[in-house]
Amino acid sequence: MSELLKNRYEFVLYYDVENGNPNGDPDAGNMPRVDPQTGHGIVTDVSLKRKVRNYIQYSREGEEGFDIYVSEGAVLNNKQKEAYEATGLTTKDNKDDKITAQAYMCQRFFDVRTFGAVMDTGDFKCGQVRGPVQLCFSKSEDPILPQEVTITRMASTTEKEKASENRTMGRKYVVPYALYRVEGFISAKFAQKTGFTEDDLDIFFEALKLMFDHDHSAARGKMSARKLFVFKHETELGNAPAATLFDLIKARLLDESAPPREFNHYEITIDKGNVPAGVELIEMV
């Protein structure tokens, strides 16, 4: 069995989108999310966690310990009830029973022991778990200008529509190109509470690198993981502030006179000479 995580980590992931909508805002007609003050694109942490969950579900299907708690169409309270049934618990409000059920949920569901979960709803409560892996919102390196594209449909849904020769008009929003950066944190202390292991860490990084390859759709266009940088601390509490480490990695637009349209229009720089003692910088992509 793999060992529990013993080191603190931070990571920086660069990914890009070409002619797609990386994360639509349902309150704004599904337009790409934008910071209204700067014009920079935004992708929520929840959006990326969904992609990680989907990758785990596809790549580890049927493997013990890799079920997904927050999955499409799931009734979460029913999964919590299964924890009580699997562990032979009969009470619903006993504190010790809740802890037992919570341990089962962490062991069975990859996303619970990775990201945490609120499982205090319904009759079969399993408490709240703070996961060791946390993601920030992604932000594009430069302002984006979403484009609204009008589309038509050649087929008809009804005979009446066909007779009128009406073709339904639709719209979709795309970002011509943007390079996004997301920063994340991995706590060894929280990992020890949820049972997050060294193997789980390897699988999580694998998911970050490959999650876009299993999430293609007409709406999202071409999305790709470009660079993944990992900071590994020698200790479980860490050897340097996360902000100091994040500042060592920067993306620079090579030609500021033209809008970026591909990854090669950027240069990723790493200040390796100022990596603090006790921290190892690992480039994974």
Residue 202 lies in a domain: yes
Q: What was the pLDDT predicted at 166?
A: 64
- Indicate the pTM of the whole model: 0.93
Residue 186 lies in a domain: yes
Q: What was the pLDDT predicted at 165?
A: 66
Residue 4 lies in a domain: no
Mean per-residue pLDDT over the chain, rounded? 93
Q: What was the pLDDT predicted at 1?
A: 59
Sign of CA dihedral 81, 85, 87, 89: positive
Residue 121 lies in a domain: yes
Which amino acid belongs to residue 220? R
Question: How many domains does one find in the chain?
Answer: 1
Three-class SS state of 232: strand
Sign of CA dihedral 139, 142, 143, 149: negative
Cα gap 119→101, rounded to integer Å: 10
Q: What is the pLDDT of residues 103-128, one digit of tens each?
A: 999 999 999 999 999 999 888 999 99
- Domain residues for the domain of 218 are 9-283
Spatial contact of 119 and 105, defined as CB atoms under 8 Å apart = yes
Residue 1 lies in a domain: no
The residues facing 252 across adjacent strands are 267
Residue 102 lies in a domain: yes
| More confident position, 92 or 247 | 247
Residue 3 lies in a domain: no
Residue 83 lies in a domain: yes
Whether the pLDDT of residue 27 is over 80: the answer is yes
Q: What is the pLDDT of residues 53-98, one digit of tens each?
A: 999 999 999 999 999 999 988 899 999 999 999 999 877 667 888 8
